[in-house]
Amino acid sequence: MNKGQLIEAVQKNLGGDTTKAAADAALNAVLDAVTKAVKKESVQIIGFGTFSVVKRGARTGINPQTREKIKIKASKNVKFKAGAKLKAAIS
């Protein structure tokens, strides 16, 4: 499912008189709120899951084309852990 399909699903879920623009605005508002909040703290949506930031330390890797050792900088990534209801829905 891509973002366009997700907007259509939100529109359908909100009801027949909801416009695609309103569904798009609602989805973008949720995504923006999660993006801003996860920078400061973990975001827990009960039953769906938790978004959190994890720090990855600097490490040595290997360039697969040249087999040369390279240094990989430390970075931050977003981790998602599925909630109980989401796990139950897919099993």
- In this prediction, residues 5-19 reach a mean pLDDT of 90
What pLDDT band is residue 15 in, cutting at 50, 70 and 90? confident
With H, G, I as helix, E, B as strand and everything else as coil, classify residue 26.
Answer: helix
Superfamily, domain 44-91? IHF-like DNA-binding proteins (4.10.520.10)
Global pTM value: 0.77
Per-residue pLDDT reduced to its tens digit, 41-89: 999 999 999 999 999 999 999 999 999 999 999 999 999 999 999 999 9
How would residue 28 be classed by pLDDT, with cut points 50, 70 and 90?
Answer: very high
**Angle, alpha carbons 24-79-7 (nearest 5°):** 15
From the list 35, 28, 22, the residue with the least C-alpha distance to 3 is 28
Read off φ and ψ for residue 77, nearest 5 degrees.
Answer: -135, 160
Q: What is the pLDDT of residue 16?
A: 75
Among residues 77, 79, 59, the alpha carbon closest in space to that of 69 is found at: 59
